[in-house]
Amino acid sequence: MEKFGFSIQVKRAKEDQSEVETSFEFALEAHLEEFLIRNWSKTSFGREFDILKSPSGELIGRQYQTDVGPIDILAISKDRKTYLVVELKRGTSSDRTIGQVLRYIGYVSAEEAENDQDVRGVIVGTAENKKLQRAISVVDKVTFVKYSLHFQLDGDSFGDI
């Protein structure tokens, strides 16, 4: 699985270690980004937002360059009233990510958004720690969305294996 961009972490669920829970996360942030870009329309983001495109239709909202660093994904609502800064973290996200997202929101507010447009941010990761929870609780423009991957083999026959 690791060659396909997943990292596998085995966690023991009980003291007798007879039950095993396997969790998956993307091995690289770039894999998470690629997955989201390819599947954008199938996500909750895609129902309300489109990834930013140039007037000619070129996708420019991926690794959107700013003077404070690249935004992983920059999207705009279908009604064009709200920009969405998407910051991806392949694993657990820390409170330092809040500062990063706020810098991006500040840039988009100053350089891209019109006076009547709002700018919001979302952090996408596998888990949030207590520091991030506390920081997000006082920042109304930023939310956290947890992603999880599920792996399943269907079928009852292995054929010629």
Q: Report d(CA 101, CA 58) in Å as an integer.
A: 24
Q: Once rounded to an integer, what is the mean pLDDT over residues 52-67?
A: 95
Place of tokens 């329309």: 41
The secondary structure of residue 42, as a DSSP letter, is G
Count the Cβ atoms, other than its own, within 10 Å of residue 78: 12
- Please tell me which residue, 90 or 66, carries the higher pLDDT value: 66
The model carries a pTM of 0.76
CA–CA separation, 123 and 67 (whole Å): 20
User: Collapsing DSSP states into helix, strand and coil, what is residue 39?
Assistant: helix
Per-residue pLDDT band at 154 (split at 50, 70, 90)? confident
pLDDT of residue 119: 98
Q: Which residue has the tokens 């969790």?
A: 23
- Would you state the pLDDT for residue 136? 92
Please tell me the number of Cα atoms within 13 Å of 70 on its side-chain side.
Answer: 10
Q: For residues 17 and 9, what is the distance between their CA atoms, to the nearest angstrom?
A: 15
Average of per-residue pLDDT values in the chain: 81
Name the residue with tokens 């690629």: 34
Q: Mean of the pLDDT values across residues 128-141?
A: 90
Q: Which residue has the tokens 């994904």?
A: 73
Which letter, b or e, does each residue of 20-39 get, where b requires 16 or more Cβ atoms within 10 Å of its Cβ?
eeebbbbbebebbbebbeee
